[in-house]
Amino acid sequence: MKVLVLTLGTRGDVQPFLELARGLRAAGHDALVAAPHRFTALADGFGVPFTGVDDGPLRVMDDDRAGEVIEGGLRVRLRQMREMPGMFTKVLEDCWAVAMAGAPFDLVVHNGQIIAGQHVAEALGVPAVLGLPLPLYVPTSEFRWPGAPLPAGLPGALNRATYLGMKMPAVTFGGVVDKWREGTLGLPLRRGRHDPTLAVDGTAAPVLHAFSPAVIPRPADWPESALTTGYWAGTGGTPLPARVEEFLAAGGGPPVSVGFGSMIGSDPARLAEVVVEAARRVGVRPILAAGWGALAGATSADDVLVVDEIDYRGLFPRVAAVVHHGGAGTTGAAFTAGRPQVVCPFVADQPFWGEVAHRRGVGAAPVPQRRLTVDRLAAALDVVVGNEVMARTARELGERVRAEDGVGTAVAALERIVQ
């Protein structure tokens, strides 16, 4: 079996698909991953064939507007809707070039965000499988659509209605995709072409959800085409740097990990000050992962360690708690490690994951980044640090998550689809 894997987004959107490709290769299959160029070095560490495609909308995260885009209001959102389609033109062309260079393929696995997945599969005449780190596309009455901040605990009918939010990509990108379909792929503008949960013949396309059923049980009203595999994650982690090991071994109890991934707020220096002051008030030592710039200006001291990037799989099992933005990948790593969490969401699905951690009894109530103060963060840290009930609940949940074989389950599902 030869599989083309297409994914777009931040590290949390790319790393699970590298894990899947590694699992496919271990099972004797061929897999090629196409993702933004900036993840070439990350892919090299997984030892899987990789081809870079245009970074597309990720470039917004590289300039001075990043904080404005993440925290912006209606005016910024409207501007994004105007600018975003043009950012995908080269992404779409690159995806087709990768498919042509590596063909024939038996299957295309894609994350939806890259937009090209089901269209490339249609042009190749092979099945398309949607792979998702969160329950974004398949409606359910059990919880609301996680793609944007919405009230929790809505009635079932309203929960299902919120999934109309997934119509927005077709509205935003439909024109660009249709032009590419007709001009480059030579495909007709058939009905349902922009819905990745539908196959070409109108039947349900397979959807693999790469999160743990111990974290989010599979909804009873999902169709058979929607599966929950468990996290697509490897075991263990890379060795931690010597200075991290030294900080972990120093007195004062286990530190807390603080990192906000690819998120960048309007005032990274203030955010770093809030984190350090809140940690000192509670009497815990933070390890700050600066990431793409959400935390800026902090310096290491006896009770603070600042690092650029770090392997969460190696770090999280060693800390007392994890403070993070609520990205699907980081949340999954914290669940897997069995550690209590403080989620400080910025945008999109992050409030949803904060609510999940809180409802599972392994996290404090989410503290939105916009309202993050020393008092609020210190209060949340007080809830999770030294809380034996929460620590035990997190450990038990972590044991259940680690007992799953998400990659193996996904590979077996893909084999069945091709057969």
Residue 381 has pLDDT above 90, yes or no: yes
pLDDT digits (tens, 9 = 90+) for 206-264: 999 999 999 999 999 999 999 999 999 986 667 899 999 999 999 889 999 999 877 67
Going by C-alpha positions, the residue among 328, 327, 358 that lies closest to residue 341 is: 358
CA distance 120 to 125: 9
Could you give the residue ranges of the DSSP H alpha helices within 231-370?
242-249, 268-282, 312-315, 328-337, 350-359
pLDDT digits (tens, 9 = 90+) for 334-355: 999 999 999 999 888 999 999 9
Q: What is the pLDDT of residue 329?
A: 92
Q: What is the pLDDT of residue 63?
A: 56
User: Looking at residue 365, what DSSP letter applies?
Assistant: P
**DSSP string for 178-241:** HHHIIIII-----TTTT-TTB-TTSSBPPEEE-S-TTTSPPPTTS-TTEEE------SS-PPPP
Maximum pairwise Cα distance, the chain:
66
pLDDT digits (tens, 9 = 90+) for 17-41: 999 999 999 999 999 999 999 999 9
Residue position matching structure tokens 């710039």: 293
The CATH code of domain 2-231+404-418 reads 3.40.50.2000
Judging by DSSP bridges, how do beta strands 305-307 and 286-289 pair with one another? Answer: parallel
In contact, 114 and 93? CB cutoff 8 Å: no
**DSSP string for 85-133:** HHHTHHHHHHHHHHHHHH---SEEEE-STTS-HHHHHHHHTS-EEEEES
CA distance 18 to 44: 10
Residue position matching structure tokens 């990205």: 327
Phi and psi based region of residue 10 (left: phi greater than 0; alpha: psi -120 to 50; beta: remaining): beta
Residue type, 405: D
User: Average pLDDT of 149-166?
Assistant: 84
Q: Considering the domain 242-402, what is its CATH architecture?
A: 3-Layer(aba) Sandwich (3.40)
Percent of the chain with pLDDT over 90: 75
Going by C-alpha positions, the residue among 194, 193, 149 that lies closest to residue 370 is: 149
CA distance 384 to 327: 19
Q: Which two tokens stand for residue 327?
A: 């990205």
Contacts by residues 376-382 (CB-CB < 8 Å, ≥ 24 positions apart): 377/274, 377/275, 377/278, 377/323, 377/342, 377/344, 378/278, 378/281, 378/282, 380/323, 380/342, 381/256, 381/278, 381/279, 381/282, 381/284, 381/321, 381/323, 381/342, 382/282
Where is average pLDDT lowest: 117-126, 132-141, 286-295?
A: 286-295
How does the average pLDDT of the chain come out, rounded? Answer: 91
pLDDT digits (tens, 9 = 90+) for 279-314: 999 999 999 988 666 678 788 999 999 998 888 899
Residue type, 348: A
Going 29 to 39 to 238 to 349, the CA torsion angle's sign is: negative
Q: Which two tokens stand for residue 223?
A: 């169709």
User: Average pLDDT of 374-389?
Assistant: 96
Q: What is the pLDDT of residue 74?
A: 46
CA distance 327 to 348: 9
The 10 Å Cβ neighbour count of residue 289 is: 22
pLDDT digits (tens, 9 = 90+) for 41-80: 999 999 999 999 999 888 776 655 545 445 555 455 555 5
Q: What is the pLDDT of residue 62?
A: 62
Q: What stretch(es) of the chain map to CATH 3.40.50.2000?
A: 2-231+404-418, 242-402
